[in-house]
A and B are shown apart, each in its own frame.
Chain A
Amino acid sequence: MLQRDYTTSQLDVLEAEAIHIMREVAAEFERPCLLFSGGKDSIVMLRIAEKAFWPAAMPFPLMHVDTGHNFDEVIEFRDRRSQELGARLIVASVQDSIDQGRVVEDTGRRASRNRLQTTTLLDAIEEHEFDAVFGGARRDEEKARAKERVFSFRDDFGQWDPKNQRPELWNLYNSRIRKGEHIRVFPLSNWTELDVWDYIRREGIEIPSIYFAHTRKVFERDGMLLPDAEVVQRGDDEPLFEAVVRYRTVGDMTCTGAVQSTAATVEEIIEEIAATRITERGATRADDRASEAAMEDRKREGYF
């Protein structure tokens, strides 16, 4: 008889699953890459990749789709972290896509480069001939994501077809594709926002400073606090004020809102999230507010 229970904590189970997924991709694809934005989910994904291949280096490059509207602190973190790991970082620039006439930038107060990223991302995937692209998306984030596979098939145009997804059973993933198609892989599919933070705490992982409470000049729009920055167009009827805030998600300055918070440590952030009654995307992302199916529509086109 077994003397003990062999129970495994939820973080160990999630980590083991994510490592399995990463190794499966490394074994079955020719040219994978990992999308690294400097946000907390992709930071956790990077740690999983470190663990999955240790003591070898991770066998794929990192890629960031840079809108040019990112927070300086996050870009600095992105560069430093990639360097520490000795990983190759590919930066795909939305500004380049605009300069080349691949996309046309929105104008006006609510202009955002969020949607333009899709073209830049798909162009980069094609240019580098990536056949598997790791993303840090989680199923608890959003309704459309709740139905997406871990190995999510994309056709020649990078499109996702939610009604025609490959069934996914046990821990067996179907990696077969034709040239020009690719698979988006989401190792953190089963993680929740709280799991991500618990893991950051457990592992002692460094994260960009804007996740912690700091004083910042902000203004209010649609109940969100947007930062005072050159790329954010602010009207005269939107006065600036100073507030103690932090970011729950990290995206473009133009569409990522800060939340009022005094949480200055990971422990305090976890306490805050455990008590919060609003989802992270609901609290902070203007890009999801366009319609009930905003995320599904963008994903169909090839968004992250």
Chain B
Amino acid sequence: MDILRFATAGSVDDGKSTLIGRLLFDSKAIFEDQLEAVERTSRDRGTEYTDLSLLTDGLRAEREQGITIDVAYRYFATPRRKFIIADTPGHIQYTRNMVTGASTADLAIILIDARKGVLEQSRRHAFLTSLLRVPHLVLAVNKMDLVDYSQERFEEIREEFTAFASKLNVGDLTFIPISALNGDNVVSRSENMPWYNGSSLLHHLENVHIASDRNLVDVRFPVQYVIRPQKANDHAFHDYRGYAGQVAGGVLKPGDEVVHLPSGLTTRIASIDTFDGPVEEAFPPMSVTLRFEDDLDISRGDMIARPNNRPHVAQDLEAMVCWMADGAKLAPRTKLTIKHTTRTARALVRDLHYRLDVNTLHRDEEATSLGLNEIGRVSLRVTQPLFVDDYARNRLTGGFILVDEATNGTVAAGMILEAR
């Protein structure tokens, strides 16, 4: 059984909470005591139906205001897969939550109200999904029961959205007509829409192929931690020196020739160690410890790659950034801390090329700063070289965060476009 991480985007009005509630309920991930609590609260508030959004909106302020504030993580499993849902609120002020949820997602579900069609909000969600390179996108056209299960309406929405999506980098796009409230095409195929030949939503989630979404070609091993046992009496490990980390790309095997960055020196992998014994290969997302044939000076923040397939060694970066800070703005000359893989350095914003309107994709080249939830293209100068790939090629070696040095808050997510 493997894991599928997916993000859901849409507002309460689109029936997102109802959909999640139904997936959880039908897969028996909602328990009786949780359901009782929700029923009780719904009754107390005078709601006529059981408001399943109460299952996901856990914080006091959310219950009071009837809104979703933050990314909520939910879990359910079927015999085929374990699922992790990053449930992100849909309103405009919470772009940063959508970006956060999408950063680790294998798939995103965008909900559209069949009566309202493709809204500005739907376009924004689709754009963010493509910006974060979520490999699979599902457009769930909800409330089909309210448009008489009309195939014409579904096709209209499909055409409109497809036209918009052609401007984006969407790898795999699937349209599914559903009614979350009635359960049409959620878990099983609906008899109300005989014209629809595709899978139910759950069937799609269970079967979508994600194993090849990882980069298994470019070997990237950011060194995270040096393991040197200090116990003097333990002779077996007296000279042990291992380099621990999580594989960010490619497949490593003992005997492979590798290059160490920044030194540029080459060596071979002597062994790939784990607590459970040495392994014959390591690939994403395994956490392992490498030992090398030669004694090199290797520390946290360094990178292991292949001599003929190296990441860019760059101090100047071109990137798209999503600004997430409430108060401060991003503008040229802003100095921040950058964290990229296991390396932390300081970064200077050299230039803001444009601010992107996430609804129209219009580039505003007159923009002088980025505020909360705004996205733009920047040039950064970093105090020490980073070992980077284009984000489109590898999300782990192409993504970074920026941290405000005064407040210590995480203020931006960045996606590398090209490095020099």
Contacts and interface: CB of A to CB of B under 8 A. Distances in A.
Interface of A: 2, 5-10, 12-17, 19-20, 23-24, 26-27, 50-57, 139-140, 142-144, 146-147, 162-163, 165-172, 174, 176-178, 189-190, 192, 194-195, 276-279, 282-283, 292-293, 296-297
Contacts of B227: 53-56
B151 interface: no
B30 to A, nearest CB: 9
Given A8-B286, A55-B237, A163 B401 contact: no
Contact of A20 (B32, B273, B287): B287
A201 B401 CA distance: 37
Contact of A10 (B2, B245, B275, B283): B2
A279 B244 contact: no
Contact of A56 (B230, B337, B401): B230
Interface string B51-81: 0000111111101000001111111010000
Given A139-B73, A163-B69, A172-B339, A147 B59 contact: yes
Q: Rank and list the top 8 A-B pairs by shortest CB-CB distance, nearest first.
A: A143-B58, A282-B33, A51-B275, A19-B287, A176-B408, A169-B103, A54-B275, A56-B229
Contacts of B396: 170-171
Contacts of A166: 409-410
Contacts of A20: 224, 246, 285, 287
B59 A162 contact: yes
Contacts of A163: 59, 61, 69-70
B103 A6 contact: no
B228 A167 contact: no
B211 A146 contact: no
A16 B275 CA distance: 12
A278 B34 CA distance: 8
Contact of A278 (B32, B72, B273): B32
Contacts of B339: 172, 174
12 contacts: A8-B2, A8-B285, A16-B246, A23-B244, A53-B244, A55-B229, A147-B73, A162-B69, A166-B410, A174-B409, A190-B73, A296-B59
B2 A172 contact: no
Nearest to B132: A169
Given A176-B403, A296-B60, A52 B287 contact: yes
Given A10-B3, A52-B287, 17 more contacts: A8-B2, A8-B286, A12-B286, A15-B287, A16-B286, A23-B224, A23-B245, A54-B227, A54-B273, A54-B275, A56-B230, A56-B240, A166-B410, A169-B99, A190-B75, A282-B31, A292-B41
A76 B211 CA distance: 44
A33 B209 CA distance: 40
A168 B289 CA distance: 25
Contacts of A14: 3
A189 B104 CA distance: 14
A12 B244 CA distance: 16
Interface of B: 1-3, 28, 31-34, 37, 41, 55-61, 63, 69-75, 77, 82, 84, 96-97, 99-100, 103-104, 211-212, 214, 216, 224-225, 227-231, 234, 236-237, 240, 244-246, 251, 273-276, 283, 285-287, 289, 300, 324, 337, 339-340, 342, 395-396, 399-401, 403, 408-410, 413
B103 A10 contact: no
Contact of B287 (A23, A142, A162, A177): A23
Given A194-B77, A282-B33, A296-B58, A52 B244 contact: yes
Contacts of A192: 75, 77, 82
A13 B285 contact: yes
B197 to A, nearest CB: 27
Contacts of A169: 99-100, 103-104, 399, 401, 410, 413
A252 B231 CA distance: 37
A197 B392 CA distance: 37
Q: Which of the listed residues B55, B61, B251, B289 has the most CB atoms from chain A within 10 Å of its own CB? A: B289
Contacts of A171: 104, 246, 396
B58 A17 contact: no
A55 B58 contact: no
Contacts of B286: 8, 12, 16
A277 B400 contact: no
Contact of A277 (B31, B82, B337): B31
B287 A57 contact: no
Contacts of B285: 8, 13, 16-17, 20
A7 B228 CA distance: 31
B74 A146 contact: yes
Contact of A172 (B58, B77, B400): B400
A74 to B, nearest CB: 25
A57 B231 contact: yes
A51 B216 contact: no
B410 A168 contact: yes
A125 B409 CA distance: 22
B410 A170 contact: no
Contacts of A7: 2, 211
A189 B377 CA distance: 33
Contacts of A140: 74-75
A83 to B, nearest CB: 16
A134 to B, nearest CB: 15
A169 B244 CA distance: 21
B138 to A, nearest CB: 21
Q: Which of the listed residues B72, B237, B283 has the most CB atoms from chain A within 10 Å of its own CB? A: B72
Contact of A174 (B31, B224, B287, B408): B408
Contacts of A292: 37, 41, 63
A27 B224 contact: yes
Contacts of A52: 244, 287
A164 to B, nearest CB: 8
Nearest to A181: B408
Nearest to B344: A28
A19 B70 CA distance: 26
Contacts of A24: 224, 342
B103 A27 contact: no
Nearest to A16: B287
A90 B134 CA distance: 44
A50 to B, nearest CB: 6
Contacts of B3: 10, 13-14
A172 B224 CA distance: 12
Q: Which of the listed residues A24, A55, A167, A194 has the most CB atoms from chain B within 10 Å of its own CB? A: A167
A52 B369 CA distance: 42
